[in-house]
Amino acid sequence: MVNILGVHNSVMNVFISEMRDAEIQKDSMRFRRNMERLGEIFAYEISKTLQYEETEVLTTLGSALMQLPLETPVIATILRAGLPLHQGLLGFFDHAENAFVTAYRKPGKDGSFKIQLEYVSCPNLTGKVLILCDPMLATGSSILLSYKALLAKGKPKHTHIVSILGSQEGVEFMKRNLSQDEVTLWLGAVDDELTAQAYIVPGLGDAGDLAFGSKYDGA
């Protein structure tokens, strides 16, 4: 199942447009905050899919019956670009457990690249709701590889994959390789073009560099 929230008119599109804007995105603090706010919106929408139970809550004047969630998700992110998005999700699911994956593009001499995964820190996922977030869904390879690595920590009840921007090619890749009964894909917007170097166009650039500064790739 694929949910593209940006097709509906809401303030979410303001945050995405500011992240895309070449001038506004020069302010890294604003870029990170917009990513956090988008995480909060995704968290609110995902919360509607959880199971709830009626619970009595005592006030100073009596009691109130409230529908409260039975489930607390595990929030996983791919370092480093996903950290602000993760923080936004965690701001709403404040009792959530957390997981972290290091996955990055390792370039080859011919201009190609492969996804390198080095580290996974994760609680037991058996029977739990997993939210895996990464700001960009380009080819889908890094998210799929990270998801499969997390499955070694137990089989989730259901997984929600969250990305701010995706390519149409990446979405189709995920649909081919994941079961809609097990995984729901949440996106802010989907762009049509993916370059030969696997950059989304128009996209927004390198989310990790825009949020945290450029990387040193020298010797």
| Residue 24 per-residue DSSP state | G
The predicted structure's pLDDT at residue 80: 85
Asked if 185 and 177 count as a contact pair (C-beta separation under 8 A), the reply is no
Peptide bond into 80 cis (omega under 30): yes
The predicted structure's pLDDT at residue 117: 79
CA distance to 40, 87, 166, per residue, from 4 (Å): 15, 21, 10
The predicted structure's pLDDT at residue 162: 98
The predicted structure's pLDDT at residue 119: 84
C-alpha 137/C-alpha 78 separation (Å) is: 12
pLDDT tens for 110-135 read: 655 676 777 889 999 999 999 999 99
What residue ranges of the chain have pLDDT lower than 50?
A: none
CA distance to 25, 32, 108, 197, 214, per residue, from 22 (Å): 6, 14, 29, 20, 16
CATH topology of domain 2-8+11-21+30-46+71-212: Rossmann fold (3.40.50)
Asked if 133 and 163 count as a contact pair (C-beta separation under 8 A), the reply is yes
The predicted structure's pLDDT at residue 105: 65
Supply the pTM of this predicted model. Answer: 0.91
Asked if 55 and 69 count as a contact pair (C-beta separation under 8 A), the reply is no
The predicted structure's pLDDT at residue 217: 66
What are the sequence ranges of the domains in the chain?
2-8+11-21+30-46+71-212
